[in-house]
Amino acid sequence: MTKMLKFLFKNKINVELSIKQYKLNLRNPFGTAHSVTTTRTNALIEIKVEDIRGFGECGLPPKKPLCYLADYNDIETYFNSWIKEIDEKQKQQQQQQEESYHYDAFNKISQKEYFKELRKEMNGDYQQSVYQFLFECLDNCKENSKDYSYASRCAIEMALLDGWGKFLKQPIYKLINIPESESLKPFYYTISMCPTMEEIMDSTDFGSKYTGFLKIKLDADVEKGMNIIDSVQKRLLNNNSTRTISKISVDANSSWTPSVARKYLEKLSPMADLISMVEQPFPIETLKTVNKDQKIDIQHLNEWVSIKKEYQDKGLLIFADESICTEKDLDGLVQLVHGVNIKLEKTGGIRPGLSTLLKAKELGLKTWIGSMVASSLNVSAAAHLLCSLSDFGGDLDGGLLIDDATQLFENDAFQLLDNGLIKMNSNNYGVGVTLKK
């Protein structure tokens, strides 16, 4: 059911806010080391300012402690709190009867060149001031202390920037004020742990039509994992495919023990030139605990510190995924990883995502942009950071993982070139997608 709020900003600008479920059917079962799903229920936010419609989406995987913290009901709870904040702020403004309005929604980003134009006072431009107003209510929402608030803020912020960009006729990466990188970044397609090898091969056939950069999900079963990698390689050779594998990312989804990591190292090191990274081999609990009174196992931590060096010595890089949510996690991860996979739902949106990327680079960590299982709306938003600030590209394949019938949007923010590299569409405004007719 759609929930909605309508109001008049400064007695001049019509605003409508709404949230609804965004149900997605997957092309194949999407399996990781900790879950298998065939459908997803994401949250879809719409913010309409006069006749300009901005959209935002957050991907909602099955909940996992310390990592995936929100479901649709949580997002709806947050949305209701946000509109309550808006209602209260509106009443305050009506009492004060102030004509001008200004709020710098980007003041937490220390580098002032980012979002430079959106920081300014709008001098009576109410159609832009309303976005600043909605950002202020978002930043002051009483639910921001809750762990599920990050995914909620991501979707709302996305809708705000989508609408603001459409109003200014600018794509989000130009709003951010980041130049498009001269070197194009790779697009990875995820081959998940489907229940059968036939489904894994079907996924391989589908993904390899778009890119030679493949992300392969593995669990702690080394023999099975290496069989999947071998089968994927043979599939492309035996099909006489014009597509060759450019790089493979191995994603363990926090399922390995130190012993398993060393067994995989023996098998993976001969193909180190082919492997771009190994994602999240270590458990999330290596650096975090569910119970705040519980202490980190230092011996276990030190073993993973050693494994980082062992992998590095064999030419393999380890990246964090589940263990990196916000920039606060980065300092502790430096000892364990060479890079981080940053996702908007976990950071809280594009603004904190940008801050996390910048801090990661300051710490000498490599960067990669990931996405949840979501539509082209969500992955296109992430592409605006990937185009310039990701070292290794990313797995922005969410729109390919779901079937066309449940996609509400078309015309992605980026083009996928024949070699599997991403090129931004500079003529697509806001996030860069359009609602299907």
- Active-site residue set: 217, 395
Round to whole Å and give the CA distance between 343 and 319: 13
Determine if residue 46 is labeled as part of a ligand binding site. no
16 Cβ contact list (under 8 Å, min separation 6): 4, 5, 6, 46, 47, 48
Q: Which amino acid does the sequence have at 127?
A: Q
Burial of 328 (0-12, 13-18, 19+ CB in 10 A): exposed
Q: Which tokens hold the place of 230?
A: 């071998």
Beta strands in 10-35 (DSSP E): 13-31
Determine if residue 321 is labeled as part of a ligand binding site. yes
DSSP-H helix ranges across 97-192: 126-139, 149-168, 172-176
Round to whole Å and give the CA distance between 96 and 252: 55
DSSP string, 300-315: HHHHHHHHHHHHHHTT
Terminal CA-CA length for the chain = 21
Decide: 4 and 15 in contact? Cβ < 8 Å: no
Known binding residues for Mn(2+): 251, 279, 321
Known binding residues: 251, 279, 321
